[in-house]
Amino acid sequence: MKRAFPILAVLTVALLCYGLYQALWVAPTEKTMGDVQRIFYYHVPSAWTAGVLFFVNFLASIAYLVWRNTKADALAVAAAEVGVVFCTIVLVTGPIWARPVWGIWWTWDLRLTLTLVLWLIYVSYLLLRRFSTSGQTPVIAAVLAIFGTLDIPLVYFSIWFFRTQHPQPVIGGGGSIDPRMLHAFFVNLIAFTCFGALICWARYRLEVLRREVEETQALESLLEPRSAR
Amino acid sequence: MVKPGPIGIARTTLLKDLRLEWRSKDAINSMLFFALLVVVIFSFSFDPTAEESRRIAGGLVWVSFLFAAVVALNQTWARELRNQVLDAYRVSPAPANSLFLAKSVGNFVFVAVLEALMTPLFIVFYNLRAVGPAYQLLIVAVLGTWALVVNGTFFAAISLRTRSREIMLPLLLFPISIPALLAMVEATSSILTGEFSPRFWIVLLVAYDVVFTIASLFLFELVLHAE
Amino acid sequence: MSYLYAAYIITWVIHIGYIGTLVRRYKRLRQEMEDLKRRN
């Protein structure tokens, strides 16, 4: 299993480079938006990866509640944290794309707003994990993760209807789709998914190591009084 | 002696809470004054014409209700913590749901009283008059308040064992409440202006309330024992 | 288009930054583990 990590890393870097090449040079320039549209090849795959990671967090949280497997909890933390990173990138690239195309930095359009709410929910999850003083933080955090995930369809529908009542420009939508664009898109989609999985795996291993160190420290402080004599 | 069922336990706990609160009027007084301050400050800050005010009143009203509710929710479990009631509850055979139900309904009553007292003030300061059917405002108020209170009570319990407990509650509550808040604000605005039908928003609020009431009842036991 | 480059660059800055923090935390934990093992 450990050997797979470097192999995946190399594969991922290769895919990312290929994706970059595709996005900047091979894909044709979009008719209406121009070259700025190429942000799309990074913006949407990042959103997809964040979504996948948050879903992993959801599954891991349930797995923890059902089987109380600490490894599942470590995975939940890792997936949430890396998911927030990718989510941040979506929220940053979105406005950078919107500004030259529509002249505004932000609009409460469906996808961007949904991403913002997701970001808020999972940042609050990470804050809970950091600030909790309970011995059973994993249980509480898992419960919060479930609440957050249950919220998502409600968020989607509320923003969707809000948009139909108050229409505004859609960021990241429209434009013609050339097969070369589709190719560039899918390459980057797979590349970023692998990249997300890779970093999540790294974060997971970091978490497992952190817990090992904590346990060893706790054990040592338990044994210390005896040896100090 | 007949063993009380879960509903009976919830009712007893609720009545006890209401009676304690009525005698000391701790929470209600502080919440009331805070709510009044919020209304006044908002009235200073946003001084719209009658036409504009109908459009933005929904947002203003619900934001101030939200802040007042957070003040109420933050001390939901304070009394229990002070007297080790939670420990007693954990070892008793009473189902955790009963405690949660009692707390939620109690909070609902408190916040509803607050809203009832703040609303006339808003009507006065903003010269509000509903163009659409006003009875629908009551439905929105009930559904919306329950949405805030059910999650608020649950997250207040989660926040018990955290540093900065008071700030943790709004930090957790606000993001998850966004669809409910959007629905409350939009429904209120559409009723006041009479421009749109609030039906979709009311249905969304019902869905929200159902989903999170069930989730809270289902998962509260885990949180209660996770201390 | 400077916006395009800004978007791509900032994406990688964020990613590299995050990976950097992971590497730093990993090194520190490894160091602590070594210390603990040596002490026992």
Kindly list the domain boundaries of chain C, sorted by start residue.
1-40
Looking at residue B94, its pLDDT comes to 76
Chain C residues whose beta carbon lies within 8 Å of the beta carbon of residue A184: none
**Residue of chain C whose alpha carbon sits nearest to that of A86:** C15
Looking at residue A229, its pLDDT comes to 47
d(CA A214, CA A196): 27
User: Beta-carbon neighbour count of residue A76 at 10 Å?
Assistant: 27
Average the pLDDT over B202-219 and give the result: 96
**Residue of chain A whose alpha carbon sits nearest to that of C12:** A89
Answer whether A69 touches B (CB < 8 Å): no
Answer whether A66 touches B (CB < 8 Å): no
- B176/A65 CB distance under 8 A: no
Amino acid at B56: I
pLDDT tens-place string over residues C1-40: 688 899 999 999 999 999 999 999 999 999 999 998 888 7
Under 8 Å CB-to-CB from B20, ≥6 apart: which residues? B79
Q: What is the distance in angstroms between the CA of the first residue and the CA of the last residue of chain A?
A: 44
Assess whether pLDDT exceeds 50 at residue B220.
yes
Chain mean position to CA B124: 23
Domains of chain A, by residue range, sit at: 42-210
Task: List the single best residue of A96, A101, A171, A217 to mutate versus C (max C Cβ within 10 A).
Answer: A96
- A36/C3 CB distance under 8 A: yes
Answer whether A155 touches B (CB < 8 Å): yes
Assess whether pLDDT exceeds 60 at residue A228.
no
Q: Pull the structure tokens for residue A148.
A: 């957050």
Verify A-B touch: 3 or more CB pairs within 8 A. Answer: yes
Verify B-C touch: 3 or more CB pairs within 8 A. Answer: no
Residue B57 maps to a domain: yes
Tokens 């009525």, residue located: B22
d(CA B204, CA B210): 10
pLDDT tens-place string over residues B143-199: 999 999 999 999 999 998 888 888 999 999 999 999 999 999 999 999 988 888 899
Under 8 Å CB-to-CB from A146, ≥6 apart: which residues? A58, A61, A62, A65, B215, B219
Residue B1 maps to a domain: no
pLDDT tens-place string over residues A163-197: 888 877 666 555 567 788 889 999 999 999 999 99
Express as a percent the part of chain A with pLDDT over 70.
93
Domain membership of residue B122 as a residue range? 6-225
Structural domains in chain B (count)? 1
Cα atoms in the Cβ-side hemisphere of radius 13 Å centred on B35: 28
- Alpha-carbon gap: A90 to the closest alpha carbon of chain B (Å): 18
**Residue of chain A whose alpha carbon sits nearest to that of C28:** A210
Q: Pull the structure tokens for residue A227.
A: 């040896």
**Residue of chain C whose alpha carbon sits nearest to that of A39:** C4
Assess whether pLDDT exceeds 50 at residue A43.
yes
Asked if the interface predicted TM-score (ipTM) of this complex is over 0.90, the answer is yes
- Contact, B182 vs A162, CB < 8 A? yes
- A131/B163 CB distance under 8 A: yes
d(CA A204, CA A82): 10
